Amino acid sequence: MILITGGHGQLGTELRHLLDEKNIEYVSTDADQLDITDKEGTYKFITEMKPEIIYHCAAYTAVDKAEDEGKELDEKINVDGTRNVAEAAKAAGSTLVYISTDYVFDGNNKDGMYKVDAATNPLNEYGRTKLLGEKAVQEIMDDYYIIRTSWVFGIYGHNFIYTMQKLAETHDHLTVVNDQFGRPTWTRTLAEFMTFVIAEKAPFGVYHLSNENSCSWYEFAKEILKDTAVEVAPVTSAEYPQKATRPQYSVMDLSKAKVLGFEIPTWQEALASFLELEAKQ
């Protein structure tokens, strides 16, 4: 059996749809069925169920709130919650798939793209707690995949694309930061990779998975709104202050995933597929 945590989130929902298409059975949970911050409850649920695979998609994802009012909850969910899931997974003999983030890096890599073994140094609370989640998984388990991803967008959640589209309804002119570079990731590509590593029995360890090519948020916004009359102008991060500091260059090296034979679409291709799907909804 397969267990999904955070099954109603942006990624969890995409994964459920993919598993449905593949006729693979699973049990999907959210906080009301399986609150990962409840240590005993999580242990009981997972050790009784003994899932072969756990796709751990539950997380605290409010990056700016994690800096202050959400700080405690961020730690509780991303660190303690992940440790609870990993300890129960170990006892149940499950393989754990944990999703992490490019925000474990500081964005000052002088050598170019971040390889899976590059030094981590998170700049914000969310990145710090996701990294502690990674460390908990690595300390507790042997049978794990840690998949770091970035700039996630999907049909089923809140994300940058929907934010831009919403703003475009009421603005003729938008400004977007042009000095933070990364790789957008379609939840569909990520969910496919999550099922791919299991199906192919890929070696356990850390992987990076996002769509191919990189861009700034400004370039991403331009592409999202290219068929509208809205004018998008570049600004610096200093002109658009946010509570959480973001890495300036968090482009991750995808070669470890590609060596497995996994085909990764470009973010432009992924965005086009997303927009096509969105238009049909």
Query: Which residues participate in catalysis according to the annotation?
Result: 126
Choice between 109 and 129, CB closer to ligand NAP: 129
* Site map (CB under 6 A) of ligand NAP, residues 119-138, x = contact: -----------x--------
> Which 98-117 residues touch ligand NAP, going by CB under 6 A?
99, 101
Cβ(212)–Cβ(265) below 8 Å: yes
- Quote the CA–CA distance of 124 and 63 in Å, as a whole number: 8
Only one residue has tokens 């003729």, namely 172
> Which 53-82 residues touch ligand NAP, going by CB under 6 A?
57-59, 61, 77, 81
Other CB atoms within 10 A of residue 40 CB: 9
180 lies in the binding site for ligand NAP (CB under 6 A): no
In the complex, minimum distance from the CB of residue 197 to ligand NAP, in angstroms, rounded to a whole number: 15
Cβ(51)–Cβ(143) below 8 Å: no
Choice between 231 and 247, CB closer to ligand NAP: 247
Structure tokens at 147: 């998949």
**60, amino acid identity:** Y
31 lies in the binding site for ligand NAP (CB under 6 A): yes
Sign of CA dihedral 31, 37, 39, 40: negative
**DSSP letter (8 states) at residue 120:** P
> Which 193-232 residues touch ligand NAP, going by CB under 6 A?
none
**114, amino acid identity:** Y
Residue of 2, 11, 86, 254 interacting with ligand NAP (CB under 6 A): 11
3-state secondary structure of 28: strand
150 lies in the binding site for ligand NAP (CB under 6 A): yes
Choice between 58 and 232, CB closer to ligand NAP: 58
184 lies in the binding site for ligand NAP (CB under 6 A): no
- Quote the CA–CA distance of 166 and 237 in Å, as a whole number: 21
Choice between 33 and 108, CB closer to ligand NAP: 33
Choice between 11 and 254, CB closer to ligand NAP: 11
Residue of 51, 70, 157, 247 interacting with ligand NAP (CB under 6 A): 157
Pick from 100, 64, 67: which is nearest to 82 by CA? 100
Which residue's beta carbon is nearest to the bound ligand NAP?
Answer: 9
144 lies in the binding site for ligand NAP (CB under 6 A): no
Residue of 94, 120, 149, 250 interacting with ligand NAP (CB under 6 A): 149
Long-range Cβ contact pairs of 134-139 (< 8 A, separation 24 or more): 134/98, 134/100, 134/104, 134/206, 136/79, 136/82, 136/83, 136/86, 137/82, 137/86, 137/96, 137/98
Other CB atoms within 10 A of residue 10 CB: 19
151 lies in the binding site for ligand NAP (CB under 6 A): yes
- Residues near ligand NAP (CB under 6 A) are 5-6, 8-12, 30-31, 34-37, 57-59, 61, 77, 81, 99, 101, 130, 149-152, 157
